[in-house]
Structure 1
Amino acid sequence: MDGALARLRLSGALILVGMLLLACTESPPGQAGGVQGSDGFTYFSGGAVGGAGGAPVSVNTFLWRASLDTVSFMPLISADAYGGVLITDWYAPPETPDERFKINLFVSGQALRAESVKAVVFRQIRQGSEWRDSPVDPSTARGLENTVLTRARQLRAEVQG
């Protein structure tokens, strides 16, 4: 039994060392790019998303970056730049700890237009030790969409100079 346990530990250690060594390898220049560079999102090519050399993406880069900026104060559960889906975790503002919000943002299409961004806002109120769903004023989602659009236009203006 002791021999089997020792072999198991040795195997686990070898696998761990192998994984660490693989993580230390360097990609060839131009092979791997960052998630979000100065000219947009990149993926294994060093080029801008949707641009020459980049992986094809169906969402507007300015709207995507503006969406990230707009909800940057909230914890993220999921951010899919290629599908245009941004999902936050629940966030309770410090001034109202018995109320919390969750936001889903959807960016679709290449055009920087109002129809290309949709926000869904969820709200819960704490009653005792439980969180209960509560209605959200529809103007909240529209206001969030307008904030994203305004920020996207600012980002585009900065790039175009």
Structure 2
Amino acid sequence: MTSPRILRLLAITLVAATLAACGARDGEDTVRAPSDPDTDRSDARLSEGAGSQTIWEAFGRRDVETNVAVNKYIWSASLEVLDFLPVQSVDPFTGVIITGFGRPPGGGRAYRATVLINDPALDARALNVSLQTQNGPASAATIRAVEDAILSRARQLRIADNRF
């Protein structure tokens, strides 16, 4: 046998031994989201098991189902408030709305928005808005005004749904 073949055989043996040492764990990680999207923030905590122990978990493969809860009122309010912007992409499972450039009614500047809803609670912490003009990022006051408009509309939708 030549030296490169011996090194290749040694490397394959080392990889096989490493993979064999990574056995399945006794317990499984569980991630549970609340069933009601309007729960209080204290009820919306996710429970997770111990850290990863197998080679597959180290590379990001997960066998458990993850349910991401998005607040339906904030989702609907975001689409209503930003209805003047052309929607490019929406993903209700991760809570992301991406729009193209558009001008608000009566406004001169064009804006583009990215909205992230990352919590099932009807709370300001659940909403992240990013606005951009054609010349760069929008002012903090404009972003705050859009966030306030979305949250106000979400509260109105919840009250109209008789869940308050």
TM-score between both structures, scaled by the size of structure 1: 0.56
Give the alignment partner of residue 74 of structure 2, picking from 48, 57, 63. Answer: 63
After the TM superposition, which parts of structure 1 deviate over 4 Å for at least 4 consecutive aligned residues?
93-97
Displacement of 1:96: 5.8
Amino acid at match of 2:127: V
The unaligned stretches of length 5 or more in structure 2 are 1-34, 37-65
Number of paired residues? 100
Distance 2:80 2:105 in 1: 20
Question: Which has the greater radius of gyration?
Answer: 2
Distance 1:153 1:90 in 2: 27
* 1:134 counterpart residue number: 136
Q: How does 1:59-138 map to 2 (within 5 A)?
A: 59-93=70-104, 99-124=109-134, 133-138=135-140
Q: C-alpha offsets along residues 19-52 of structure 1, whole Å, 9 cap, x if unaligned?
A: xxxxxxxxxxxxxxxxxxxxxxxxxxxxxxx56x
* 1:17 counterpart residue number: none
Structure (1/2) with the larger strand percentage: 1
Distance 1:101 1:63 in 2: 20
Per the alignment, do residues 160 and 120 of structure 1 end up closer, same or farther by CA in structure 2, a change over 3 Å counting?
same
2:73 is paired with a residue whose SS is helix
Amino acid at match of 2:79: L
Per the alignment, do residues 59 and 93 of structure 1 end up closer, same or farther by CA in structure 2, a change over 3 Å counting?
closer
Is 1:150 matched with 2:152? Answer: yes
Distance 1:89 1:142 in 2: 19
**Cα RMSD (Å) of the superposition?**
2.2
Higher relative contact order (CA 8 A, sep 6+): 2
Q: Percent identity?
A: 32
